[in-house]
């Protein structure tokens, strides 16, 4: 697929508003960077706390995608004046005896167009997987194991386990860019 160069994507005179269905600063920054990498027009990206409608630690693709979709839709309902709404939901899944971590991204626009993507997945260490199976959310398990506070608003599991080589912002940003493909290639979607 030939991805259009930024200069070939239609521009708009006014700033467009993007609402992220979370106040997590990493999710907001990731969204801001992704939108500015794909489009040349100006964006204002704001976070809004909305309900995901799923458990605190979604399990499997279906529940995690539902959480991302609910976040985007609930952000739309709470702030319908925006141009785009983004839902980001992290999940875990048991796969061949290992627990994997990942996230789903959903982007909606004011015309009803939908884009979605999934991040790369990675195996969690057994010590963290055991804490999650015991009822903890991944962020809390990371905090306990790595002796941190509020790591889900910082480097998260991916950052800690890669020793900062893959930041949580970069991890989400790539998937947000992939979710924006339908918006950057409007004639094909």
Q: Mean pLDDT over residues 35-55, rounded?
A: 94
pLDDT at 7: 38
Locate 60 and state its tokens.
């499997």
Structural domain includes residue 160: no
Give residue-wise pLDDT tens across range 131-151: 999 999 998 998 888 888 877
Structural domain includes residue 88: yes
Total domains in the fold of the chain: 1
Lowest mean pLDDT among 22-36, 45-59, 120-134, 142-156: 142-156
CATH number of 105's domain: 3.90.950.10
Structural domain includes residue 117: yes
Give residue-wise pLDDT tens across range 47-97: 999 999 999 999 999 999 999 999 999 999 999 999 999 999 999 999 999
CA distance 184 to 189: 9
Q: What is the pTM of this model?
A: 0.90
Structural domain includes residue 137: no
Residue 12: pLDDT over 50:
no
Residues 6+ away with beta carbon under 8 Å from 81: 17
Structural domain includes residue 62: yes
Please report, in range form, the residues annotated as the binding site for Mg(2+). 81
Listing DSSP states for 99-168 in one string gives EEEEEEEEEEETT--EEEEE---EEPPHHHHHHHHTT--HHHHHHHHHT-SSGGGTTHHHHHHTTTSS-H
Structural domain includes residue 4: no
pLDDT at 4: 42
Structural domain includes residue 132: no
Please report, in range form, the residues annotated as the binding site for substrate. 81-82
Locate 85 and state its tokens.
């709404």
Please report, in range form, the residues annotated as the binding site. 81-82
Closest by CA position to 25, among listed 150, 181, 129: 150
User: CB atoms < 10 A from the CB of 178, how many?
Assistant: 16
Structural domain includes residue 114: yes
Q: For residue 27, give its domain range.
A: 18-123+167-188
pLDDT at 152: 75
- Give residue 178's pLDDT band: very low, low, confident or very high (50, 70, 90): very high
């Amino acid at each position: 697929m030939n991805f259009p160069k930024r200069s070939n994507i239609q521009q708009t005179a006014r700033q467009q508003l993007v609402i992220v269905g979370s106040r997590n600063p990493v999710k907001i920054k990731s969204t801001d960077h992704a939108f500015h990498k794909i489009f040349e027009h100006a964006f204002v990206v704001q976070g809004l706390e909305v309900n995901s409608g799923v458990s605190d630690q979604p399990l499997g693709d279906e529940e995690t995608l539902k959480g991302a979709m609910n976040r985007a839709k609930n952000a739309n309902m709470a702030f319908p004046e925006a141009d785009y709404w983004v839902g980001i939901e992290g999940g875990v899944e048991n796969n061949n005896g290992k627990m994997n971590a990942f996230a789903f991204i959903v982007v909606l626009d004011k015309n009803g167009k939908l884009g979605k993507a999934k991040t790369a997945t990675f195996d969690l260490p057994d010590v963290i997987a055991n804490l999650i199976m015991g009822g903890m959310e991944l962020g809390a398990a990371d905090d306990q194991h790595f002796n941190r506070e509020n790591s889900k608003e910082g480097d998260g599991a991916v950052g800690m386990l890669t020793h900062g080589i893959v930041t949580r912002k970069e991890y989400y940003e790539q998937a947000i860019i992939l979710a924006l493909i339908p918006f950057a290639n409007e004639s094909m979607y």
